[in-house]
Every structure is written in structure tokens, then in C-alpha cells.
Structure 1
Amino acid sequence: MQGSVILRLPLIVGLLSLLAACASGPRAGGLPVVDDPAPIVAGTMRPYQVRGRWYRPEEQPRYDERGLASWYGDQHHGRPTATGERFDMNALTAAHKTLPLPGLVEVTNLANGQRVIVRINDRGPFVDGRIIDLSRAAADSLGLRGSGVGEVRVRYLGPAPRLGGGSRLQQASLERPADGPAAPDAFWIQAGAFSDREAARRVADRLGEQATVADGDRLYRVLVGPWPDPNAAEQARQAVIARGYADALLISSR
């Protein structure tokens, strides 16, 4: 086991130079590509007042905040959202006070590392310290429903597609490399995600024999590995981050 880890580590240097190719076209770091974005609902971009406080929605391409997330469900199910869409507590959606609607955000539960992409189509939550209000399904995906409130990181990804856009980022089914099955406790690095399978396959081919393509929910993820030792995999991930890919993701196959 130790020997196999040592043999894989020199490949990190080669991977770093090839990962730069992921930055063109689809966005790097496992982010989705929206080819047919829904138009921003103009009325949702006007300043508005709730409980005596003014909120001013605006384009925020660099939005990346940490704060508390809450969730809402049965009492709002089926009601219209700020965009005019019907709230579906079983869909991966959320409410935000100032980001463009509809849009996509990546939400990370800072307690367990679970990540999900949600479609923001409503305004809220209007409680101090809370930065996003999740649907029941999104809260379930992040492991937050039981606690009701949890600390999260929210990153704006851009416009939402005309329909849907939500995805659970850590539930992809892994394709095994051609040289045989991975160990039960194998660890992978997610190098990027693409809406087109052929684009993902081309990147995987450039990354070499340790790269494979995993079919996810509307996305094809390029995974590199496996590493049987999480410490070696983390070293590889940190090397990728040092080269400017701050969203490189370590995934366990278990």
C-alpha cells in the first residue's frame, strides 16, 4: 500500500500542468455550465423593504459568504416564489435576499463538508445572521434538516437554467479505471465538471490514465485517482489549490 502511494505521488506534477486546460470553456472546480440561462426577473432587482430594513439586489459575481442557513417546507409548498415559480419543497431551491433571480449558488455545510447546488428563486430569509433559506430537499442533502439551522458557505455561480439546475455534488457514481476496481476506501480529486460528456472525456484523456468520467445529475465530472491513502490525496489536492484551483474537491468512494 505504501509503495503504491509513493508511485502515484510523482504523477501530481504532471497533473498540475494539465489541469490548467480545465479553466477554458466550462468553469473549473466542479461548477456547472448553463448554456441557456433564464432571464433575470426584472422586478426582483428593485430595492425593497422588509420590517423597516432596505435590501438592494444587485449582480454579485464574486459573492462568497459564510453565515447561517435555515430551511422552509410544508407551510410554503406550492406557493409562488419571487420569480413567479411555485415553491417545491422537494426540489433543490433556496431563497436569498439580494442575489439575482433566478440564479445558482453552491452551498457547503461547514460542519460536514456536504455540498449542493441550488436554484435561488425567492427572497429571504429576513432574520439577522441568516444568509440563505433552503428548501427541505436542500436541507436534507446538506444534513441540516434535523438541526434546523447550520453554518454554511454560499458561493454565487451565475444565472440559473430555464428549468432546474440543482444537483447534489457528492453523490456521483464513480466509473472505475480500466485497470480494475478501486479499493473500497479509495480517494479521488474532482478536477472539473461539464455539461457535455465529450468535453469531459477530452479533459480526462488529457489528464492521463488516472482520470475518469463520472456521470452525475446533469453533469459529467472528471475525477483523478484513486489514492488509497487520504493523506496522499490531500497533498495532491493542496498542490492543485496552490496552482489556483481553490475548489479542487477530495471525494471518497465509500
Structure 2
Amino acid sequence: MNQGIEQVSRFARRFCLMALAAFSLAACATPKYEVGRTVATSTGSAPRPGSMIGRDGKPLRGTEKPYQIKGVWYYPHEDKDYNVVGIGSWYGEQFHNRKTSNGEIFDMNLPSAAHKTLPLPSLVEVTNLDNGRKMIVRVNDRGPFVGDRIIDLSKAAAEELGYRRQGVARVRVKYVGPAPRRAIEAPRQYAQAAPPPPRPRSAPRSFEDIQEPPQRVQVLPPPREATWNPAPVQQSAPPINPPDPVFASSRSAAYRVQAGSFSSRENAEKAVRQLTSAGRASIEAIERATGTLYRVTVAAGDDEGAAWTLRQRVEALGYSGATILRP
């Protein structure tokens, strides 16, 4: 009896030792990966979003996370030395008024760009190597995913660089730096076209009505003695002309960025105050048959590239319809 119990006990000990050895071998065969790293593969499912950790130890945001297109993985990151020559293309109506990868609304009539891996949003300098034209554009979308193309520009940007008609061009793309983030639902009260001024109830406004404050005019005293010919007194008084408006000239020898046009001078002055951080803003009075418009512009200097950079700063302040005025 005791002999049988002893045999069962030895068998149980052997079984436990064998199970423990098998578990240890399985643990040694399990591959190990560094925490926060994802494995680059051309096929298979995407990494679990919760495991995507950046170099600073913080979770990656949506536009920073690796993504897969047509079986190829792309890893967005900032490359301060990015300076690449390749083929550039453009896109327009098919994506007009649709959301970009970072949530902004794509407008094909405004300069912008799409890139596979640069941060969103960021600024890049694009040079058309066929004609020497260059400009700074805001990258706010992902692409292009056709062949070896390195950048996709909006219709307006391709037009500015001179390759909209041919569709593609040999370009150089150089990273400039991060771009200011825009509010997705930013108000556009200054970006919209100015509404027509209200119809006057009686006579149209005179030129003096728009001056604030009006210039004081000295009234000449009447002649001491009434005579039949007061003409000499009237002729001695200088003609009363309306004062010159304190506005900038509509002609300029340098680039300017137009933030908007306003039917109200009060709104134009408000825009000037808001644009103080962007540069020297001024108001131009434009006389029309329907009334006076007040155009607000910011001086941009003689360099076209600086004008494009200033335009983006003006847009970041809420004037998304800003345009460049050439000398």
C-alpha cells in the first residue's frame, strides 16, 4: 500500500517539473519589443492606437500617428533638415470644401499643400525648378499617394508657381517650421465680402460725412457796413475744401496683404487694431457709386516670400480671405 502511494507521489513530482520546464521555454520564445515602438510592416493590421507613444513619452495626436495607405506605412515626424527635390502635383475641385487631415476646410482657391509625413500644420517653401518661382505654403493635409510625388498643392498654389495647366512640375520642398494652428470653427466676419451700404434716405453722403472728426473751419465775420458790393470780402475768403482723408495711398511700390474691405470705417479701424501684431496696417478709402469702402492692408515689403508669410499670419488672426496685392 505504502509502495503504491510512493509511486504516485514520484509521478506527480515529475509531472510538475515537466510543466514548469515547458512554461519557461515558452516564455523564452516570446519576442520582446521596446515600449512605445511600433513595427513597420507593409501588410497587416494597424498598431493599436493606445500603444502609440512619441519620443517625449506623450501619446501621439491624430495627425502624428502612423497610418497605412495601400499597404504602406507612413510615420509622420518633424524633420527640420527636410530639403527634397521631386515631382509636385495639385488637387482641387474633387476635395473642395471638404475636411483636410487635421480638420481644416480645404479651399482650392487658397494656397495650401498636402504632404505624407511632415507635421500638420506646418510651413514649407516650394520652388518650381522649371521657372524659378517659389512660395511658402501651409501644409494641412496628407498626400499625394501617387507614384513618387512628394507634395500636392492646392489649385491656387499651383497657379502661383506656374504649373496648374501641365498638372505636375519638378519642385524643391524645404521645411520652414510649424504653422500657427487655426480654430476649426473660427469666425469669418472679416473674411467675407463687404455687404452693400444701405441706400440713403435722401441725398447720398457727402465726402465730408466720412471724416472723423471734422476739421474746424474759421467763419469770417460779416462786413461792418453793408454796402451794395460785398464782393471784396467774399473774394478774400479762401475756398472751403473738404480735408484730405488720413488714409494710405492706393498705389504702392511694395507688396501688401489685404485683410478685407469694409463699408463701415469703424469696422476698418477695429481690424487695424487687431492686426497690430502682424505689422503696420493702414486704411484706404475706395470711392464707388454705391458708397465708400474702406480697405485694410498690411505692409509686406519688397520680398514676395515675405508677403506670403505675412498673409498666413493675417489669416491666423481670423482673416482667412486675405490676399496679396502686388506692386
Per the normalisation by structure 2, the TM-score is 0.40
SS at 2:160 equivalent: helix
Question: Does residue 214 in structure 1 map to residue 302 in structure 2?
Answer: yes
Partner of 1:229: none
Deviation digits for residues 163-211 of structure 1, max 9, x if unmatched? 49xxxxxxxx645xxxxxxxxxxxxxxxxxxx656xxxxxxxxxxxxxx
User: Residues 131 and 217 of structure 1: is their aligned pair in 2 closer, same or farther, counting only changes over 3 Å?
Assistant: closer
| 1:68 pairs with 2:87 | yes
- Of 98, 105, 110, 1:86 maps to 105
Partner SS, residue 66 of structure 1:
strand
Which one-letter code corresponds to 2:302 in the other structure? A
Match of 2:72 among 48, 53, 74: 53
* Shift of residue 49, structure 1, vs aligned partner: 0.6
Q: Which residue of 1 aligns with 2:121?
A: 102
Residue 162 of structure 2: aligned partner: 143
Separation in 1 of the partners of 2:63 and 2:73?
A: 14
Q: Name stretches of at least 5 consecutive residues in structure 2 with no aligned partner.
A: 1-59, 184-251, 255-277, 281-300, 312-325
Q: Distance in 1 between matches of 2:161 and 2:308?
A: 16
CA distance in 2: counterparts of 1:81 and 1:127, whole angstroms? 18
**Aligned partners of 2:151 and 2:180: how far apart in 1?**
20
Per-residue deviation, 1:162: 2.9
For 2:88, what is the secondary structure of its paired residue? strand
Whether 2:140 is the aligned partner of 1:121: answer yes
Distance of 1:68 and 1:111 partners within structure 2 = 11
The DSSP-based 3-state class of the residue aligned with 1:108 is strand
Aligned-CA RMSD value = 2.9
Whole-Å separation in 1 of the counterparts to 2:170 and 2:309: 27
Match in the other structure for 1:111 = 130
Match of 1:44 in 2: 63
How much has 1:59 moved relative to structure 2?
A: 1.1
Greater Rg over alpha carbons, structure:
2
Determine the C-alpha separation between the residues in 1 that align with 2:148 and 2:253: 37
- Which of 173, 177, 193 is residue 158 of structure 1 equivalent to? 177
More strand by share: 1
Paired residues in the alignment total 143
- Aligned partner of 1:55: which letter? Y
Which amino acid is the alignment partner of residue 115 of structure 1? Answer: K
For each residue in 1:90-140, what CA deviation from the matched residue of structure 2 results, as whole angstroms up to 9, or x when unmatched? 111010000000001010000000111111000000122200000000000
| SS in structure 1 at match of 2:150 | strand
Instruction: Return structure 1 stretches of 4+ with deviation > 6 angstroms.
Output: none
Q: Distance in 2 between matches of 1:78 and 1:152?
A: 26
TM-score normalized by the length of structure 1: 0.51
Question: Alignment partner of 1:130: what SS?
Answer: coil
Name which structure has the greater RCO, CA cutoff 8 Å, separation 6+. Answer: 1
Local SS of the residue matching 1:140: helix
How far the C-alpha of 1:78 sits from its partner, in A, is 0.7
